[in-house]
Every structure is written in C-alpha cells, then in structure tokens.
C-alpha cells in the first residue's frame, strides 16, 4: 500500500493505493490520526484501493469516532463498487460522506 498526502484548496487529501487489510490498515490509521484536529477537512481518496478487509472497515470506524469527537470533516472519495456495497451492507456507509470524484469531494467540504 502507498500513501501520499497533499494540501488542495485548504483540504488535506490522503491518496491511498493498494489493498487495505490487517497488515496495512494500522499504517494508514497512523498516517491519518495526526491530521484529525478540530476544524480540519480531510479527503481519503480510495479510488486506487481495490480491496478492503474487515480490518480496513474497523480502521474506518475508528477514524469515524475520532473525527466525530473532534468536529473534523471527512469525505471518502472514489470507493470501488465492491467496497461501497460491503460498507452499505454493514451499515458503515451511512456514517460517512462519500463522493465519486475529487472535484465533488472538494465542493462538499467548502
């Protein structure tokens, strides 16, 4: 898994490429947690993530709890259909704001 962070229009964008599983989810969480500060706006670009295990879903749930506690805005961008379906079935999808494209994700956070 590769992770890259970039500022775009006052939003911290975390680009993730590769599978998110039990081995990689902790690394992603360690990269995102320091970004969770009151008032921050974050996009997780998951358009290059073809697979997410239950460990990845747990990591997202943990992030959700932290962003909610600190009033941080987070948008998940580019979820592949399989991950979106899994998140919908488990009820996780309703916790998050999602967007198909980066442009729409940035608009949501303005």
Model confidence over 35-77: pLDDT tens digits? Answer: 999 999 999 999 999 999 999 999 999 999 999 999 999 999 9
Put simply, whether the predicted model's pTM sits higher than 0.85 gets the answer yes
Bridge partner residues of 45 (DSSP) = 15, 77
26 alpha carbon, distance to own chain's centre: 13
Written out in words, the top-level CATH class of the domain with range 10-108 is alpha beta
Per-residue three-class SS string for 3-72: EEEEEECCEEEEEEECCECCCCHHHHHHHHHHHCCCCCEEEEEEEECCCECHHHHHHHHHHHHHHHHCCC
């Amino acid at each position: 898994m590769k992770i890259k962070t970039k500022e775009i229009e006052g939003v911290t964008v975390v680009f993730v490429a590769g599978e998110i599983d039990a081995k990689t989810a902790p690394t992603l969480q360690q990269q995102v947690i320091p970004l969770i500060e009151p008032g921050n706006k974050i996009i997780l670009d998951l358009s290059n993530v073809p697979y997410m295990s239950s460990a990845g879903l747990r990591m997202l749930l943990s992030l959700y709890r932290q962003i909610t506690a600190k009033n941080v805005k987070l948008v998940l961008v580019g979820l592949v259909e399989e991950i979106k379906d899994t998140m919908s079935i488990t009820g996780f999808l309703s916790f998050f704001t999602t967007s198909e494209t980066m442009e729409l994700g940035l608009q949501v956070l303005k």
